[in-house]
Amino acid sequence: MNPENYLYLAALLFTLGACGVLLRRNAIVVFMCIELMLNAANLLLVTFSRMHGNLEGQIMAFFVMVVAAAEVVVGLAIIVMVYRSRHSASVDDASLMKL
Amino acid sequence: MIGLLVAAPLLGAALLLLGGRRLDRVGHWLGLAASAASLVFALVLFTDLLGKDGEERSLHQHLFSWVPVADFRADVAFQLDQLSMTFVLLITSVGTLIHLYSVGYMEHDERRRRFFGYLNLFLAAMLLLVLADNYLLLYVGWEGVGLASYLLIGFWQHKPSAATAAKKAFVVNRVGDVGLSLAILLMFTTFGSFSFTHVFAGVDGASEATLTGIGLMLLLAACGKSAQVPLQSWLGDAMEGPTPVSALIHAATMVTAGVYLVTRSGVVFDAAPDAQTVVITVGAVTLLFGAIVGCAKDDIKKALAGSTMSQIGYMMLAAGLGPLGYVFAIMHLVTHGFFKAGLFLGAGSVMHGMNDEVDMRRYGGLRKHMPITFATFGLAYLAIIGFPYLSGFFSKDEIIYAGFAKGGNEGWLLGGVMLLGAALTAYYMTRIMLMTFFGEKRWQPDEAGHEPHPHESPLVMTVPMLILAVGSVAAGFVFDSGERFVKWLEPVTGLAHGDSPVSHGEVSIAATVVMLLGVGGAYLQYGRREVPAVAPAGRLLTRAARRDLLQDDFNHVAFVQTGNYLTRGLVYLDHKLVDGMVNGTAAAFGGLSGRLRRVQNGFARSYAVSMFGGTALLVAATLLMRAV
Amino acid sequence: MSFPLLTATAAVPAIGAVATAAVPAARRTGAKWLALAFSLVTVGFAAAVLLRFDTGSGADRFQLTESHSWIEDFGVRYELGVDGIGATMIALTAVLVPFLIGAGWNDADPVEGEPQATRRWRPTQGFFALILMVEAMVVLSFAATDVFLFYLFFEAMLIPMYFLIGGFGDRAGEQGEEGQARQRSYAAVKFLLYNLVGGLVMLAAVIGLYAQTADQLDAGTFSLQAILEARASGDLDFSTGVERWLFLGFFFAFAIKAPLWPLHTWLPNAMGEATAPVAVLITAIVDKVGTFAMLRFCLGLFPEASDWATPVILVLSLVSILYGALVALGQRDMKRLIAYASISHFGFIVLGVFAMTSQGQGGATLYMINHGIATAALLLVAGFLIARRGSRLIGDYGGVQKTAPVLAGTFLVGGLATLSLPGTGPFVSEFLVLVGTFSRHQAVGIIACTGIVLAALYVLVLYQRTMTGPVRAGLEKLPDLRVRELAVVTPLIGLLLFLGVYPKPLTEIVNPAVEHTLSDVHQTDPEPQIDVSEVEAAE
């Protein structure tokens, strides 16, 4: 199969994720969309790795996965805390740097 | 030795002003001692000079180098020649007499110690002025006497009028000082020096335009200090000061400093005939101006101030005549110093006995109450109007003669003006005399209900008056016999005779005749008729003369008001325009950031949009650059 | 290696500042004495600088030099050294500060009955520590011969100054405590912004200068001496345009600091709101860095551009002289009046600097010193008066000389010195400036002369309105000067009189430096039209 198609898929996923970040209010959904964008980037890295025939892209993809996992831990914790105090997970409600 | 002359009163001033209250009880004697010490030094130096030949009568003393910067060399150095010596003797002798007089006059003033401190300061500055051997040091003395004059005019500072008069005197004098500064600046750029020796030596090589410039600037300075038109307006107000001050500073010594300056710079003026013409004009105008003002004033001190102005006009005119007149300018200056000081001390004595009343319309018939004052005042009066064989007769007639000797139409014009001035002098002096000492008593209780009890002044006051009266009577004769004064001063100032269309005798006769006319006129008006206690409205000229010929009104409109508007306008502009521009810039930035702040709204998604937008822009820009 | 005298002169007040700041809150008086002691030690060091300075004909231009490598990559060195001008300016700074401390002895005491919440703050310690800090920075800027080092201290002194202006003011006043605080913070911010803008422009010029040296020499340098040598030998040659831009960059900063019309409006605000000692610190010491830097950096580094800009600068300084004096006449607030008078005086100083004659520049240097002392005397006495009555408005006073004659007397002497009365120091310097200006630019000299009359007017009007006339209600019990206040004012007045009668020691130190500066700008004094030097000086 032509690897270029993976590139198109990655671009599509990234666009979907970006749109989700911009349009959705629910923090959890926004968060998932960010994951989507990260994975689109991962897909790109792996694809290019394949296209260029070296491993650097794949190594990088692993790094991204680790960072994404860490991010999920911190991000979800914040969202939970915000939800607890405001009883809402809308990102627009949290427009001030204080409670 | 010369330094000691200045040092004695300076030390006295320092002691009295810094000594504090513990010197209150002896302060006045200390001041008198300092002044007398100066007089003794002066006499010693005088005998020293007399022992030398005419041409060598000059002493120098170089104290220290004052301000050396590259070619600019100002020294503190004294020069004592016949001209300075004349002044030194006048200043120290009259000064000491007036110190003595003040002991009595200021007896009841709680700030008497300070008064004597200021008087000593004045003496020191005045001596510095006449002893300096260069113009910059002269300038120090020049402003020093201005300061002393400021302090003494405003001595009764609690009176707003005195404070205003003092300020006015200082500021008007400062206008003159600008002239002196500019003259020194011009000398420095022209000659690279401003010591008398160097400047006078370089005059031959300088262009006439430069010398005229220097001369006119020196004249401006002289006008300020000597109350000559157009800077005369301060002298009348200066009478706010205590009367001994008026006698010493504003009659006998300081106001004649301008004449000293012109005479001292004679070499410059001789080489700049245009400047001399202006000096003569100023002298002639002031001579009449002062006389007219003197005729109209009811305030005895202001009438005498007008007279001072007028007499200095004579001196200035004589000094403007060059070698024809220098000697006689100085001679008149000395005799005037005696009789005008005598007149002022007499006026002070009258005021002392009359609860400080100065309005002559409230005097009358005082000769019975104050015989000594009457006698001394009368002798000084006869001297100033030029009564034959009293001192004014000799000195004034010589000046009038010198005016005629100028030659041509100018000579006739000057002689005529001065004769007219002599008539006016006789008129206003007789008026003062009659209103004060003759006629019926016109005094009234003051607002508090105190009726004045005119009485003769104590001995400390009358003794100086008597000595000055002797001087007024005898000085002219002593100076004139054997041409002593002329021979004494000639080596410094030079002497010329010119050819006069009239003889000495004719001038004397003419002067005596106009004098009698003036006396007669005043007698008809004030001696034969009763003097009204309230001044009549008077004609236009009288009213103008009472207001100093509208000089103050002119100054008010031309300078004070314009200055006020200018100042207020500038303050407004400074606030609104200069500061406004800065504040405007600040406000503009503030407004801009207010707008920009809205972008930071706290919505995470709007930040995300700008992030994506920015990235998209960057990508687009990169692609575009690639494509190009 | 010889003892680093200049560093020590700056280090003493710096250490003093730290030590004073560390004094516990309760030991207020101790902090004051400590600060005074350190400032007096500084005077000793400054005196040593003057004494060690060699005025002989073969002496080096910059003396007491120190040089250490600092940021090698950019050629920045810690280089200190003084010429005659710098040495006298350091002496002025060191001499004035103890008087300021003495005058401000009680200015920063905590207000009685202040709430407990503010008790831990130590305003008194802070006040004196900040003053000493400013002193250290000023001394270093007078001594720095590395352009970057100079820039550093020139800017750094803004920080303590900002807190001094904004943090301490006169007690109460007609606008009440809160209005006063608002005015004060406005003044402090204005001061800071003005000077920062100037500094920023100057920074650009400093970098530009470095770029030029890096371009043309082996290695980039900020060293004044190295640049002067390179310029003299022709190794370093700016193009006309570059030189003018760099000159303007430096001059702009100094003209704000000096301050020259129309960049002056921060000064009246700052001086009006600050306490009297701080106002003196601003006008008598900190501002002098501006005029001093014009002499040292503008003229030394950019002679051609200085020559090019001279006509405009002369006009600006003339405007400053007359405008400052006229606006001073229209002020109702004593301190603002003195501030505008200072603007007028700074006009004279700049005039002297750019007259490009030895009299002008020597006069300008003396003027800086004399103006510092004269303004200190006048302003400190005004401060004592204001502290007694709690008002800065001239209209609130009258007849003070009746109740407090010594106060009035010292005020008058300070005023007379301000109007340059002969016999006081300022006369000598003002006359030298006039001579220097007149011998090159006659018209400018003549116009500047009229400033003499205006100065007399504003000083005497101020004196008349406040001190003479009938005693105003509320002033009947006005106490006269106290011992501390007399101890502050008397030496200043003595100094003024001494410098008026015998300024020779100063001129001897300053003259060689002025000659060097003049040769930097390739100028010589104009010759008199007629040579009378053969005439024997009178014996």
Condensed to tens digits (0 to 9), the pLDDT of residues B26-64 reads 888 889 999 999 999 999 989 888 888 767 778 888 888
Q: Mutating which of C327, C357, C428, C489 best tests the B interface, going by the most B Cβ atoms within 10 A? A: C327
Give the confidence band of C205 by pLDDT, cuts at 50, 70, 90: very high
**CB B376 within 8 Å of CB B466:** yes
Phi and psi torsions of B503, nearest 5°: -90, 165
Q: What distance in Å separates the CA atoms of residue B302 and residue B240, rounded to the nearest whole number? A: 9
Which residues neighbour B23 within 8 Å (Cβ) at sequence distance 6 or greater?
B15, B16, B30, B113
**Touching chains, B (3+ CB pairs < 8 A):** A, C
Nearest CB among A18, A92, A97 relative to B603 is that of A92
Please tell me whether residue A92 adopts helix, strand or coil conformation: coil
Share of chain C above pLDDT 70, in %: 95
Does residue C242 fall inside a structural domain?
yes
DSSP C394: G
Sign of the CA dihedral with B165 first, then B170, B173, and B178 last? negative
Check B608 against A92: CB less than 8 A apart: no
Statement: residue B618 has pLDDT above 60? yes
Run means of pLDDT, 10 residues per run, chain A, 99 residues: 88 93 89 92 92 90 92 91 85 72
Query: What's the rounded mean pLDDT across residues C237-250?
Result: 89
Structural Rg of chain C based on CA atoms: 23
Does residue C249 fall inside a structural domain?
yes
| Residue B315 CA, distance from chain mean position | 14
Helix residue spans in C114-146 (DSSP H): 123-143
Query: What's the rounded mean pLDDT across residues B307-313?
Result: 92
* The pLDDT value given to residue C115: 53
Q: Which residue of B has its CA nearest to A25?
A: B605
Q: What is the full DSSP assignment across C71-98?
A: EGGGTEEEEEEE-HHHHHHHHHHHHHHH
Query: What's the rounded mean pLDDT across residues C435-454?
Result: 90
Which of B296-310, C308-322, C463-477, C516-530 is predicted with the least confidence, judged by mean pLDDT? C516-530
Between C100 and C174, the more confident residue is C100
B134-165 burial code (b ≥16 CB/10 A, e <16)? bbbbbbbbbbbbbbbbbbbbbbbbeeeebbbb
Which of B559-563, C223-227, C263-267, C356-360 is predicted with the least confidence, judged by mean pLDDT? B559-563
C130-152 burial code (b ≥16 CB/10 A, e <16)? bbbbbbbbbbbbbbbbbbbbbbb
Between B364 and B221, the more confident residue is B221
Nearest CB among C358, C442, C453 relative to B171 is that of C453
**CB C255 within 8 Å of CB C195:** no
* The pLDDT value given to residue C539: 37
Question: Which residue range is the domain that position C14 belongs to?
Answer: 5-109+121-527
Does residue C53 fall inside a structural domain?
yes
Q: What distance in Å separates the CA atoms of residue C493 and residue C330, rounded to the nearest whole number? A: 27
**CB B21 within 8 Å of CB B107:** no
Q: Which residue of A has its CA nearest to B602?
A: A95
Please report the ipTM that was assigned to this predicted complex: 0.89
Please write the tens of the pLDDT for every residue from C253-296: 999 998 898 888 899 989 988 889 999 999 999 999 999 999 88
Sign of the CA dihedral with B501 first, then B507, B511, and B514 last? negative
Tell me how close the Cα of B567 comes to any Cα of chain C, in angstroms. Answer: 5
Does residue C538 fall inside a structural domain?
no
Please list the residues that pair with C274 across neighbouring strands: C169
Q: What distance in Å separates the CA atoms of residue C47 and residue C39, rounded to the nearest whole number? A: 12
**CB B425 within 8 Å of CB B339:** no
Contact exists between C and A (3 or more beta carbon pairs < 8 Å): no
Q: Which amino acid is at B276?
A: Q
Q: What distance in Å separates the CA atoms of residue C384 and residue B59, rounded to the nearest whole number? A: 49
**CB C495 within 8 Å of CB C96:** no
Determine which helix (DSSP H) or strand (DSSP E) holds C206, and give its type and residue range: helix C176-216
Domains held by chain C: number: 1
Q: Does pTM top 0.80 for this prediction?
A: yes
Which residues neighbour B151 within 8 Å (Cβ) at sequence distance 6 or greater?
B118, B121, B166
Geometric angle at alpha carbon B447, from B441 and B451, rounded to 5°: 40
Tokens encoding B181: 């500064």
Does residue C431 fall inside a structural domain?
yes
Q: How many CA atoms lie within 13 Å of B605's alpha carbon, on the beta-carbon side?
A: 19
Does residue C372 fall inside a structural domain?
yes
Q: Helix-strand-coil percent breakdown of chain B, rounded to 5?
A: 75, 5, 20
* The pLDDT value given to residue B145: 92
DSSP C422: T
Does residue C282 fall inside a structural domain?
yes
**CB C326 within 8 Å of CB C387:** no
Nearest CB among C262, C358, C456 relative to B170 is that of C456
Does residue C536 fall inside a structural domain?
no
Pick from B97, B118, B232, B126: nearest CA to B169: B232
Domains of chain A with bracketed CATH: 4-86 (1.10.287.3510)
A39-56 burial code (b ≥16 CB/10 A, e <16)? bbbbbbbbbbbeeeeeee
Q: What distance in Å separates the CA atoms of residue B519 and residue B513, rounded to the nearest whole number? A: 10
Q: Which of residues 20-39 of A touch B (CB under 8 A)?
A: 21-22, 25, 30
Statement: residue C465 has pLDDT above 70? yes
Please list the residues that pair with B60 across neighbouring strands: B79
Q: What residues of C are in contact with residue B193 (Cβ under 8 Å)? A: 528, 532
Which residues neighbour C75 within 8 Å (Cβ) at sequence distance 6 or greater?
C210, C213, C214, C219, C220, C221, C222, C223
Q: What residues of B are in contact with residue A25 (Cβ under 8 Å)? A: 605
| Residue C20 CA, distance from chain mean position | 24
Which residues neighbour C154 within 8 Å (Cβ) at sequence distance 6 or greater?
C141, C199, C202, C253, C257, C289, C293
Packing angle of the helix pair B326-353, B82-105 (nearest 10 deg): 0
Please write the tens of the pLDDT for every residue from B378-402: 999 999 988 888 888 888 888 999 8
Please report the number of interchain residue pairs, chain B to chain C, with beta-carbon separation below 8 angstroms.
194
* The pLDDT value given to residue C117: 47
Tell me how close the Cα of C380 comes to any Cα of chain B, in angstroms. Answer: 20
Q: Which amino acid is at C13?
A: P
Please list the residues that pair with C144 across neighbouring strands: C80
